[in-house]
Structure 1
Amino acid sequence: MPFDLAQQSLGLIIVIFAICTLIIGFAGTRLAGIAIKLAERTGMGQIISGALFVGISTSLPGSVLSVSTAWQGHTDLAIGNALGGIAAQTTFLAIADLVYRKGNLEHAAASATGLAQTTLLVSMLSVPILAYAGPEWMIYHIHPASILLFIIYGFGLSLLSEIRDEPMWLPKKTDLTEEDAKQHKPDAHPQSTTRLWGEFLTFALLTAIAGHVIGQAGLAIVDITGASQTAVGTFLTAISTSFPEFVSAIAAVRMGAVNLAVGNIVGGNAFDVLFLAASDFAYRDGSIYAAFNDQHLFTIALVVLMSGVLLLGMLNRERRGIGNIGWESVAMLALYGGSIFYLAG
C-alpha cells in the first residue's frame, strides 16, 4: 500500500532512501552468490542463470517501484525509473570492465548467448516506441504492446536456452576467454537446494520491499524539492534500485565469472523493459505509452545506442584499450555522462 513520506523532513527521507539502498545492495550481493550455486545445481550455465536468477530477482526493487508508482498515477516516475535503470545498468558493465584488470571484459565474456541477450533487449526496446507512435489500441485499459513484450521475453528465453545447448557458432577462444571456463571450487559446507531457493526468495522479497519504500521516498523528494519526476526516476531511484546489479556484477567479475556479470546486466535490462508492460497493467487512466514525453524517448534512444555499442564491442572483442578497458566501455561511460546534462538540466 502507498504511504506518504512527504510529511517527513527531507533529511529523514534521505536517510530512509540511503538505508533502503544499502539493503538492496546487501541482498543483491547475496543473490549473486546464490545464483552461481543454483546455476551449478541446475546446469543452466552462467549466462542463463544471470538472466533468470540474478537478472530477474535483482530487478525486483525497480519493478515494484515502477508498478506501485504507476498504480498511483505517477507515470513520469514509473517510466523514468524503468528506462533509467537500463541506462544505468549498462553503464555498470563499463565500471565492471574497469575492475576486471586482466583485459577487456567484453572480450573475456564473449558468447553466443550474450550476443543473443543484447539483441533481445534491443528488439524489446522497439516495442514501446511502436506503441507510442502507433494507434492507441486498448484491451480494457491495457495496450496490446504490453502483452507482446511478455511474449517476446518468454520466446527470447527459449531461444537463449536453444543457443546455449546447440550454438550454431562459437567465439574464438583466447587466453582471456579460458578464464570463464574454470569451474568454481565446491562448497566446503554445501547447502541443500531447498535452502538455497529459500534464501534466494527471502533476499528477493527483501529487495522488493526496499524498492517500494524507495519509490515512496522518490515521490516525497519530488513533492518537497519540486524536482521533476522524470529526472528523479531516471537517475535517483533508477540507480538506487539498480544497485543489486552493480554489486553482483562487480562480485561476479572479482570471482572470475565474467559471463555471469554480463548475463546479470543484459538479462536484467531485458527484464527491466517488462517494467513498462507491468506498469501499463497497473496504470488505470489509459496506456502508459501515451504518457511518454521527449525525455523518455531520449532515454530509450540512449539505451538502444548503448546496447548497440555493447553489441559491437562483444563482436569486435578488443583485448585491451584505454585504461585497459575496451573502446565500448569508454563510449558507454561518455554517453551516460552526457545524458546527465540533458536529462537533469
Structure 2
Amino acid sequence: MFPSLIISIGAFIAAAVIIITAGSQLARVADELADRTGLGEALFGIFLLAGVTSLPDFAATLSAALDARPDLAMSNVMGSMAANLVFLGIADIIYRKANLEHAAASSTNLMLAALLIVLLALPLLAIASPPVSLWGVHPITPVIVAAYLFGLQLVRSTDNKPMWIPRLTRHTVPDKPDTNLQGSLARAWLSFIALAAVTGLAGWVLMESAKVISDETGLSETLIGGLFTALATSSPELVTTIAAIRRGALTLAVSNIFGTNCFNMLVVASADAGYPGGSIYHDMAPIQMTWGLISILMTAILLMGMVRRQLYGIGRIGFESALILMVYALALGIVVASGYLAEA
C-alpha cells in the first residue's frame, strides 16, 4: 500500500494520532450513552465501548493474518491485551484519591477478569495441542467464540442480579447517571458510530504501514507487532480510560479495559479464521506465548487487587498496579531481546 519507508512511517504516526484523538472523544460519548440508554457504565463499557476501542486491533490483526503474517498478527493482538492491562496501572497512578480498584469496586468487573483468564488460556491450549484444523480453523477457535458469548451472559446476569456487592466506603465511586445531558440521543449515537469508523480505518492503515516498516528495516514482526503496533492500536483504551476517570466514570474506565481484552479474543478467533495457511496457532513463533502468559498473570494480579481493595499502596497506588507495571517491563525486555536474537 505504501511505496517507501518514509511514507510508511508518516502514515503510521498519522494513524496513531487519529486513533488517540478519536479515542479521547469516545469516553465522553460513551458515558453519555451509558446514562441515556440506561445500560450503565459497566454494561455499556463491555458491550459497546469495548468493541469500538478494539476496532483498530481487529483491523490491524485481520490485515496481517490475511497477508499470511502470523507473528505480526498475533503479537499485535496479544501485545495489545498486555498493554491494556498496563493502562489500568497508569490510570491508578492518575487517580490520586484512592486505589482505582478500590474506588471502582464492582462484581461485574470481577466476573470480567475471571472470564478473561479463561479466554486467554484457550489459544495457549491450541498452541500446545497437535496441529489440527477443520476447514482451515483450529477446533479451539469456535470454543473461544462460544466461551465469550456464554461469559457475556454471566457478566450481564452478575450486573443485573449480583449475589454479593462490595462494601461501600467513602472512597467508593458508584455509577450515577447524569441527569443534565445536552443534545439528542440520535446525535450521540451518530457521533459514536463515526468515531468507531474512524478508529477502525486508522487501525487498518496502521498495520499496512507496519508491514512495510518491518520489511524495510529488518525488525522482527514479533517486535513490531508486540511493541509498536500493539501500543498504537491500544491507545484508544488509554485515552478513553483516562478521559473516563476525569469525568468520574470509574466503572466505565475499568470495565472498558477488561471488556476490550475479552472482545480481543474474538479478534484472535478471526485471525485464525482469516489466516490462509491453516491454523495460525501453529505457524507463529513460540515467543508469542509470552504475551498470553503475561496477560494471564497480570489479570490474576488485578483480580487479587480488586478483591483485596487496598486503599493506598506504594506511591499511593495499589500493590497490583505496581506489580503489573513491573511484570510488563520484564515482558518487554524478553520480547525485545527475542526480537534482536531473531534478527541475528
Give me the TM-score of the superposition, normalised by structure 1: 0.95
* Amino acid paired to 1:243: S
Number of positions where the alignment pairs a residue of Structure 1 with one of Structure 2? 337
Provide the residue aligned with 1:9 in structure 2. Answer: 5
Distance 2:325 2:37 in 1: 35
Contact (CA 8 Å) 1:143, 1:280: kept in 2 or not?
Answer: yes
* Amino acid paired to 1:255: R
Query: 1:266 and 2:262 equivalent?
Result: no
Query: 1:38 and 2:33 equivalent?
Result: yes
Instruction: Return the match for 1:91 from 86, 93, 107.
Output: 86
Contact (CA 8 Å) 2:175, 2:251: kept in 1 or not?
Answer: no
Query: 1:326 and 2:322 equivalent?
Result: no
Distance 2:230 2:44 in 1: 23
Distance 2:298 2:39 in 1: 27
Secondary structure at the residue paired with 2:9? helix
Provide the residue aligned with 2:341 in structure 1. Answer: none
Query: 1:308 and 2:300 equivalent?
Result: yes
Distance 1:183 1:57 in 2: 22
* Amino acid paired to 1:15: G
Shift of 1:309: 0.3
Distance 2:119 2:329 in 1: 24
Distance 2:13 2:238 in 1: 16
Distance 2:200 2:156 in 1: 27
What is the correspondence of 1:33-182 to structure 2 with a 5 Å cutoff? 33-177=28-172, 179-182=173-176
Instruction: Return the match for 2:218 from 223, 226, 232.
Output: 226
Query: 1:184 and 2:184 equivalent?
Result: no
Q: Deviations over 1:174-197 (max 9, x none)?
A: 1111x234443522x3222x3222
What is the correspondence of 1:14-29 to structure 2 with a 5 Å cutoff? 14-29=9-24
Distance 1:40 1:185 in 2: 8
Identical-residue share of aligned pairs (%)? 38
* Amino acid paired to 1:8: S
* Amino acid paired to 1:171: P
Distance 1:116 1:236 in 2: 30
Q: Deviations over 1:260-303 (max 9, x none)?
A: 01011111011112211000111011101112322111111111
Provide the residue aligned with 1:257 in structure 2. Answer: 249
* Amino acid paired to 1:86: M
Contact (CA 8 Å) 1:180, 1:256: kept in 2 or not?
Answer: no
Distance 1:116 1:84 in 2: 22
Provide the residue aligned with 2:202 in structure 1. Answer: 210
Of residues 166-175 and 41-50 in structure 1, the stretch that sits farther from structure 2 once superposed is: 41-50
* Amino acid paired to 2:270: A
Query: 1:248 and 2:248 equivalent?
Result: no
Query: 1:277 and 2:269 equivalent?
Result: yes
Q: Unaligned 5+ residue runs, structure 2? A: 338-344
Distance 2:331 2:202 in 1: 27
Provide the residue aligned with 2:340 in structure 1. Answer: none
Q: Deviations over 1:99-139 (max 9, x none)?
A: 10101001111110000000110000111011111233322
Query: 1:297 and 2:289 equivalent?
Result: yes
Distance 1:292 1:108 in 2: 40
Of residues 133-142 and 16-25 in structure 1, the stretch that sits farther from structure 2 once superposed is: 133-142
Provide the residue aligned with 2:331 in structure 1. Answer: 339
Shift of 1:147: 1.2
Q: Deviations over 1:239-279 (max 9, x none)?
A: 00110000000001111111101011111011112211000
Secondary structure at the residue paired with 1:242? helix
Contact (CA 8 Å) 1:132, 1:292: kept in 2 or not?
Answer: no
* Amino acid paired to 2:207: G
Contact (CA 8 Å) 2:40, 2:175: kept in 1 or not?
Answer: no
